[in-house]
Amino acid sequence: MGELRLMKGNEAIAEAAILAGVDAYFGYPITPQSEVLEYLTLQRPEERTGMVVLQAESEIAAINMVYGAAGTGKKVMTSSSSPGISLKQEGISYIAGAELPCLIVNVVRGGPGLGTIQPSQADYFQSTKGGGHGDYRLIVLAPASVQEMADFVDKGLELAFKYRNPALILSDGLIGQMMEKVEFPEQKERVTSFDQSWVTTGKTKERERNIITSLNLDPEKQYQHNLKLQEKYRRMKEDIMYETFDCDDAEFLLVAYGSSARICQKAVDEARSSGKKLGLLRPITLFPFPEEVIAKFARQVKGILSVELNAGQMVEDVKLAVNGRIPVYHYGTPGGKIFTPDDILKAIDEKLMGGY
């Protein structure tokens, strides 16, 4: 581990990409994630590791460059913010269909449409339920600190190659723009130890040609391909990650991810100091979702409040996991407005503990 640095979340992602030995980054600027491309450009990674950094002519071009480069077995990534991620959805669906590994970063801003540039978590549905067309899933990691912005670049790529599936870092303007301490690992070499048997880097006499496509007009083959994808998504459960705070004796539970989980931590601290038995569950992987952990808590606590910077999205997955056993509520502020720990404490009193 190297020296401690004070950095924005967006800058930490960019530095971590260079250190993780990423081969190529293709992007297009948009607030609040432009620092990723800016930092990469200033760092001249072509001199540090030989990494390619390219500002494409649009988000659509960038994601299709990712598609092409990922087909060669290289570590590739892109980043954007909500409206830009919407533009990338066709390409992401193709990449998922073609089973290629890559890393996508979404530093979410308020929507819908061009919306606002303020932080939001309103892209939860888009990230965890597919986003583009077809029955596919992304591996979704939700960092809650600048350190995790850095750590999840390497982690996301590892999972992407393990499952040959796109991985998404679902961040937001708050974690992207704030500065915290961050410690980086040593520089990794820009070589890959992952399985390369499927890559399209030129056919040799010894093997059949490799084909990368998301088109399969034979209905039976497409059906079988879909079954294989679904089997893969089920297997991802072995990589579920989550964190708990003050849950051991909790009678009520908050569920929150990313920046919301940080704000909730302070609310839990304050609720505990006034004698309320409150805990916090923070899903780190949003897909695969820690549903079994939530089902277990449904046998321990009297009620759950899903706290999100949106109008109520993850709360649906929490309800599915709880399956009617206990009341599940949502508290959130949509459209880029950020709640404070005080707002959450009020919601705890009014909604979660209102009837007790």
Binding site for another protein (CB under 8 A): 4, 6, 31-32, 116-118, 173-174, 177-181, 259, 262-267, 269, 338-343
Beta carbon nearer to another protein, 77 or 267? 267
Beta carbon nearer to another protein, 27 or 32? 32
Beta carbon nearer to another protein, 172 or 317? 172
How is residue 68 written in tokens? 């092409």
Beta carbon nearer to another protein, 28 or 339? 339
Beta carbon nearer to another protein, 266 or 351? 266
Closest distance to another protein from the beta carbon of 168 (Å): 23
Closest distance to another protein from the beta carbon of 19 (Å): 20
Closest distance to another protein from the beta carbon of 197 (Å): 44
Closest distance to another protein from the beta carbon of 317 (Å): 24
Beta carbon nearer to another protein, 60 or 338? 338
Instruction: Give 277-322 as a DSSP string.
Output: -EEEEEESEEES--HHHHHHHTTT-SEEEEEESSSSSHHHHHHHHH
How is residue 164 written in tokens? 């040959």
Beta carbon nearer to another protein, 34 or 64? 34
Spell out the residues 6+ positions from residue 235 whose beta carbon is closer than 8 angstroms to its own.
Answer: 163
CA distances from 311 to 130, 332, 335 (A): 19, 6, 8
Closest distance to another protein from the beta carbon of 110 (Å): 11
Positive or negative: CA dihedral 144, 149, 154, 157 = positive
Beta carbon nearer to another protein, 269 or 291? 269
Closest distance to another protein from the beta carbon of 3 (Å): 9
Cβ-count burial of 274 within 10 angstroms (0-12 exposed, 13-18 middle, 19+ buried)? exposed
Neighbours of 44 (CB within 10 A): 11
90 close to 132: Cβ distance less than 8 angstroms: yes
Beta carbon nearer to another protein, 321 or 348? 348
306 close to 262: Cβ distance less than 8 angstroms: no
Closest distance to another protein from the beta carbon of 11 (Å): 12
| β-pair partners for 87 | none
Closest distance to another protein from the beta carbon of 130 (Å): 30
Closest distance to another protein from the beta carbon of 118 (Å): 6
Instruction: Give 116-168 as a DSSP string.
Output: -SSB--TTHHHHHS-SSSSS---EEE---SHHHHHHHHHHHHHHHHHHTSEEE
First-to-final CA distance of the chain:
48
Neighbours of 16 (CB within 10 A): 23
Neighbours of 2 (CB within 10 A): 11
